[in-house]
């Protein structure tokens, strides 16, 4: 445990050889240290994580920890050996996808005719913006198992081709008190991309805005209103 970041730790959940696996308060990390921390991490991707630790976010639906640990074991080993971050993540994603396939998640989403049942992905309709953008809480485990292991926190149709047109998806692993920050990020990023900005530039600006609003509730509400959203999500648990 890193005493400098001791407030982030919740409990130790596993030990893999010399690696301690910790459940951490992801919201506190995103509020105070790094808004880019998502489901999990290890030292070679997040330097503030001690070298012999894996951090798993405390999630509303904590049913993917085994997949995340499998991913991290591959990712860390490869990056330690000098493999680039992107190549290591790609290989770790393949390992994670293999384990997800063994778990049978994809069969949960398939209809009898072999097509995907989006009703299994869509978990709760949260409303529409003034621009008729539909906001959905989704079963993120099924999204990661069916479409993309890199889906985290949220996403929209201009980034992910599996998201239907004019939809924003919110990860159901995110606790209700963080959903507005994620929604703001996705709506702002989408608006910039709709105007022609590239994803990387739009994402950076959305992350900066998200960080600012995590420390200013009034600004959060004002920025959401500019994007056509006035509903409070805390009620949607």
Stretches where the chain sits below pLDDT 50 are: 234-237
Count other Cβ atoms within 10 Å, centred on residue 69: 19
Q: What is the pLDDT of residue 237?
A: 40
Q: What is the pLDDT of residue 232?
A: 65
Beta bridge partners of residue 124, listed in sequence order: 137
Count other Cβ atoms within 10 Å, centred on residue 89: 20
pLDDT for 210-228, tens place per residue? Answer: 999 998 999 999 999 999 9
Q: What is the pLDDT of residue 114?
A: 80
Question: Pairing mode, if any, of strands 122-128 and 134-138?
Answer: antiparallel
pLDDT for 64-100, tens place per residue? Answer: 999 999 999 999 999 999 999 999 999 999 999 999 9
Global pTM reads: 0.89
User: How many angstroms separate the CA atoms of 172 and 56, rounded?
Assistant: 16
């Amino acid at each position: 445990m890193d005493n400098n970041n001791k407030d982030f730790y919740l409990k130790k959940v596993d030990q893999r050889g010399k690696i301690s696996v910790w459940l951490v308060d992801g919201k506190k990390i995103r509020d105070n240290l790094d808004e880019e921390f998502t489901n999990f991490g290890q030292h070679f991707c997040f330097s503030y994580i001690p070298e012999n630790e894996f951090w798993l976010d405390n999630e509303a639906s904590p049913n993917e920890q085994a997949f995340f640990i499998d991913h991290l074991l591959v990712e860390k080993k490869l990056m330690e050996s000098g493999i680039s971050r992107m190549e290591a993540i790609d290989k770790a994603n393949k390992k994670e996808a293999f384990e997800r396939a063994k778990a049978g998640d994809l069969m949960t989403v398939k209809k009898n005719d072999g097509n995907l049942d989006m009703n299994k992905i869509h978990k709760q309709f949260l409303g529409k913006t003034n621009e008729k953008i539909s906001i959905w809480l989704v079963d993120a485990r099924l999204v990661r198992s069916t479409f993309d292991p890199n889906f985290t926190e949220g996403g929209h149709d201009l980034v992910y081709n599996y998201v239907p047109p004019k939809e924003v998806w919110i990860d159901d692993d995110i606790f209700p008190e963080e959903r507005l920050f994620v929604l703001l990020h996705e709506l702002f990023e989408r608006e910039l991309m709709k105007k022609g900005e590239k994803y990387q530039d739009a994402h950076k600006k959305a992350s900066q805005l998200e960080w600012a609003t995590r420390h200013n509730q009034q600004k959060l509400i004002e920025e959401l209103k500019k994007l056509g959203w006035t509903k409070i999500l805390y009620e949607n648990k």
